[in-house]
Amino acid sequence: MYPDARCALEHRSPWELLVATILSAQCTDKRVNLVTPGLFAKYPTPRDFASVRPEVLANDIRSTGFFNNKAKSIVGAAKKVVSEFSGQVPRTLEELLTIPGAARKTANVVLGTAYGIASGVVVDTHVQRITRRLDLTRNTDPVKIERDLMQVIPKEKWILFSHQTILHGRALCVARNPRCAQCLLSSLCYAPDKTA
């Protein structure tokens, strides 16, 4: 259904993707994509982000919500990337997880989208909801869901699977009123709230 699915966060580098992914927490990708062009024009490099005060950056990202925490994470991430990784976003899950603001979901997004490295399956709210509806997992914890999906999805499909599932969650399998009648996966869906 979504053969050309890709990350919806607009970016030109692994660093920009890392920042955009941190900003996307509890925020739509559409909103993030409205904020990031001006943000990256004002702060073009990790070094620029590392030298800004979090309270200043918070004003630049206010419309993404949770702006104080996100600003601290982004400035902390920039300082870590500059001081420990020579200004380059690292290419391993273990190293990425040491960066402020980068938990498993963010690390998997960056590794998969920026570097083509399948380190795991991105589990956002769409993936969480849809994989439960399709009975691919019965867990509610994102780490456990990821573990389940890594068992049933071939590794070479991990990156694309997440993008496809997220797109499906936006297009048809929406949280409040899923459009089951239009869904080609309807016969595979076990959700108790399926619509006609």
> Which residues are part of the catalytic machinery?
105, 124
DSSP secondary structure, 151-184, as one string: HHS-GGGHHHHHHHHHHHHHHT--SSS--GGG-T
In 46-117, which ranges are continuous DSSP H helix?
Answer: 46-50, 54-60, 67-84, 93-96, 104-109, 115
Degrees to nearest 5, angle at CA 116 with 109 and 36? 45
Alpha carbons 73 and 37: distance in angstroms, whole number? 19
Degrees to nearest 5, angle at CA 30 with 42 and 134? 140
Q: Are 39 and 26 in contact (CB under 8 A)?
A: no
Q: Are 36 and 23 in contact (CB under 8 A)?
A: yes
Alpha carbons 105 and 134: distance in angstroms, whole number? 21
